[in-house]
Amino acid sequence: MIEKENIEILIPTLNEEGNIAETIKNLKLQGFNNLTIIDDNSQDKTVKICRELECNVLENKNLSRLGFGKSVIKALKNSNSKYCCIFDGDNSFDPSSLELMVDKIENKFDFVFCSRYKDNNVSEDDTIIRKFGNFFFTKLVNILFRINTTDVLFLYVMGKREDFLSLNLNSDDYRICTEILLKCYINFNCAEILSIERKRKFGKSKVNAALDGFKILTNIFYYYIKSFSNKKLI
């Protein structure tokens, strides 16, 4: 049986003072207290709030930001826990999904991915552009790599820390979403569960639909070409 204290919840943040307190409190209500915040030089009270709520904080104080991907990689490398789960700091993720994720891990899955769209569900935080983009990228990934997933851009995932590190991750931005998913599905036994994405209450998404969408598209084709010479992509 996996004890909750052995699961470290990794939460990248950037100017989330309006959302982070509720995110942390909701996780603790589910019994998950091993929380690490990876803050990418927030200019608001995000770090102060996290420290007051007794979270472990990895703080990037450099003027040049790490980016979402590098923040995730930094958190994984600094973790001392057997299991890690990547979680968002804008209070859009549903922490009640964690129990089912743990159950899947206990039933011999290596990684468990959450999906907003499984069983024809929808995200509460979707725009037309985001919904179309995710539909397009998901179809493309399923066709090119012959896998079966319903959501390639939702980085709510749990697995062993050592397995995360074995992926040799290198994306510095939101390309980390597709990099982790592709490398996991190709090399490990993965499960997918439905999880509701709530609409964020405060602040704005850090995703640039056009720029990040283009980067993700090129990244998918990069790994597709790479797969001809390195099927594991690692």
Q: What one-letter code names the amino acid at 69?
A: G
pLDDT digits (tens, 9 = 90+) for 148-162: 999 999 999 999 999
pLDDT digits (tens, 9 = 90+) for 130-180: 899 999 999 999 999 999 999 999 999 999 999 999 999 999 999 999 999
3 state SS for the chain: CCCHHHEEEEEEECCCCCCHHHHHHHHHHCCCCCEEEEECCCCCCHHHHHHHCCCEEEECCCCCCCCHHHHHHHHHHHCCCCEEEECCCCCCCCCCHHHHHHHHHHCCCCEEEEECCHHHCCCCCCCHHHHHHHHHHHHHHHHHHCCCCCCCCCCCEEEEHHHHHHCCCCCCCCCHHHHHHHHHHHHCCEEEEECCCCCCCCCCCCCCHHHHHHHHHHHHHHHHHHCCCCCCCC
Q: Which domains does the chain have, with CATH numbers?
A: 4-226 (3.90.550.10)
Q: Nearest to residue 215, comparing CAs of 137, 112, 120, 163?
A: 137
pLDDT digits (tens, 9 = 90+) for 67-76: 999 999 999 9
Q: What one-letter code names the amino acid at 33?
A: N
Task: Indicate the average pLDDT of the chain.
Answer: 95
**What pLDDT sits at residue 216?**
96
